[in-house]
Amino acid sequence: MALVNLSEAARLARISRVTLYKKYINTGKLSTTSDDRGRPAVDTSELLRVFGTIYTDGSQEDEKILQGLSPQETEDTERLTAEIARLTAIMERQERELEDAREEISWLRARVEAAEQRQLAGPETKRKWWWPW
C-alpha cells in the first residue's frame, strides 16, 4: 500500500504525533520504514493492522492514500485514463467508418450482380429483321 509520513499517519489514526511515537513506534507496535528520501514513513496497511480503521475526511487525497497510490502514480493514472478515453473515441470512430465501408461494399456488390445478370441475359431475344443470323 502507500507510505505516509508520520504526521499524516497520526492524522489518519486520529491521535497526536507524540502519542504515535510514544505508544506505538517506540514500543514496537507500529513498524516504520523509510521513504525514498530516507525519512520515516508508515505503510497504510500497518495503520490498518494496528488501529483497525483509518479516519479520513473524504478528500480525494485521502482516497488516493487508501488506494495505495503515490502522487506520481496518481498523475500517471489520470494521464493513462485520459489516454484510454481518447483511444476509445478513436476506436469507436474507426468502427463507424468500417461499418460504413461494409455497407458501401454491399451496395457495390449488389450493383455488380445486377450488371452481371443483365450481361448474361444477353441482348433482347426479339430478332431484328435486318440482322442475318
pLDDT at 95: 95
The whole-number pLDDT of residue 90 equals 94
pLDDT of residue 4: 84
Model pLDDT, residue 68: 60
The three three-digit cell numbers of residue 35, written as one number: 521513504
Q: Is 70 exposed, middle or buried (0-12, 13-18, 19+ CB in 10 A)?
A: middle
User: Cell 488506494 identifies what position?
Assistant: 67
117-121 long-range Cβ contacts below 8 angstroms, 24+ apart = none
Q: Are residues 27 and 7 part of one domain? A: yes
pLDDT score of 69 = 58
CA atoms within 13 A on the CB side of 67: 13
Q: What is the pLDDT of residue 93?
A: 96
Looking at the structure, tell me whether residues 75 and 63 fall in a common domain: no
21 and 54 belong to one structural domain: yes
* Residue 36 covered by a domain: yes
**Dist CA 102 CA 108 (whole Å):** 10
Last residue of a domain, one of 29, 53, 69: 69
Q: Which domain holds residue 112?
A: 70-120
- Cell, residue 28: 514496537
Identify whether 76 is part of a domain: yes
For residue 133, is it within any domain?
A: no
pLDDT in tens, the chain (133 residues): 578 888 888 888 888 889 888 888 889 888 888 888 888 888 888 888 888 877 766 565 655 555 565 666 667 778 888 899 999 999 999 999 999 999 999 999 999 998 888 777 666 556 666 766 6
Residue 83 has a pLDDT of 92
Q: Last residue of a domain, which of 69, 84, 99?
A: 69
Of 60, 71, 38, 51, the residue nearest 9 (C-alpha) = 51
Is the same domain home to 9 and 57?
Answer: yes
- pLDDT given for residue 66 in this prediction: 57
The structural domain count of the chain equals 2
Same domain? For 16 and 49 the reply is yes
Q: Which amino acid is at 131?
A: W
Q: Is the whole-model pTM more than 0.85?
A: no
Is residue 126 assigned to a domain? no
